[in-house]
Structure 1
Amino acid sequence: MAEREPFTVDTVLAPVDGSEESATAVEYAVAVADRYDASLHALFVLGRGVVRGMDAGTVDEDDVAQSTREFFEDVERLANDAGVEVSTSTAHGFSRVRKTIHPGSVVLDAADSVGADFIVLPRESVTDADAEVLEQAAEYVLAYASQPVLSV
């Protein structure tokens, strides 16, 4: 039997949407990054309602930016406490003009873009009919990701 290469992780991608479930996923992502001496990239994915509201002018972009910044501050605090290097970005999870843009594809594109070796994301809630944006993407990411995926 051929000797296997040790499992290594350089970058963990943690897609977030501001939900409690994504905050929990960040805790796991930080733990994985810490375990493998990897960096963490947190991707805030904006949901359909937010994107449509910003396009229509009914959702204040400054409010969205502020809540995103506050969530990232929590992510950075948690990562820094564990000694994990962290970077962040934001993406629209939906597009009114391109049907191929949805939360699952945005997560996978970001994983490729940042060179993620591992993805940690929230899974769909079995009790909440109004699932957050990333919970809806978990099955897609699990099916199509080339990286290992932890869905929490």
Structure 2
Amino acid sequence: MDIETVLAPVDGSDESLAAAEYGLAVADAYDASVHALYVIGEESTAGLKAGEIEEQEVAAASTAFIDEIRARAGDVPVEQSTTHGFSAARLSQHPGSVILDAAEEVDADFLVVPREPLAGDPTAVIEKATEYVIAYASQPVLSV
């Protein structure tokens, strides 16, 4: 198996951080990089109109979380991006489809996601998408 990019979707939860660590281990074993995709959940944007989200607050939270992943990465290169897991305007946009779209965009060869459900935390977005990702991903998926 040839792996160049491991996609590790995260949402700020302990479970997604643990899954990202597995992604780092896979990337290290295959001399690959990790792309950490911070997925912003519906709970973070509930009740807000478009444009009301404080992008600086979201950026600060996602950057701090990605920095934690980078601190654990050792020599593994880590790239990052941020996306919204839900959309009131697009019913087809949910965490699972967002993760798979991102996997295609970054040309990921392997995905690592936390098992569902773990925390039951309403802000934990990724655990809601795991089953979808496992069912529809064209890449190998490790669920931890």
On whether the aligned pair clears a TM of 0.5, the verdict is yes
- Asked if the contact 1:53/1:59 (under 8 Å) is kept, the reply is no
1:127 to 1:46, Cα distance in 2 relative to 1, 3 A? closer
Q: CA deviation at 1:77?
A: 1.5
Q: For 1:1-152, what aligned pairs fall within 5 Å after superposition?
A: 7-55=1-49, 60-79=54-73, 81=74, 83-125=75-117, 128=120, 130=122, 132-152=124-144
CA–CA separation in structure 2 for the residues paired with 1:62 and 1:131:
18
Percent identity of paired positions between Structure 1 and Structure 2: 53
Q: CA deviation at 1:67?
A: 1.3
CA–CA separation in structure 2 for the residues paired with 1:14 and 1:24:
10
Range with greater deviation from structure 2 (97-106 or 129-138):
129-138
- Which of structures 1 and 2 has the bigger CA Rg? 1
- Asked if the contact 1:38/1:84 (under 8 Å) is kept, the reply is yes
CA–CA separation in structure 2 for the residues paired with 1:102 and 1:130:
14
Unaligned runs of 5+ in 1: 1-6
CA–CA separation in structure 2 for the residues paired with 1:119 and 1:56:
30
Q: What is the Cα-based RMSD across aligned positions, in Å?
A: 1.8
Q: How many residues align?
A: 144
CA–CA separation in structure 1 for the residues paired with 2:46 and 2:118:
26
Unaligned runs of 5+ in 2: none
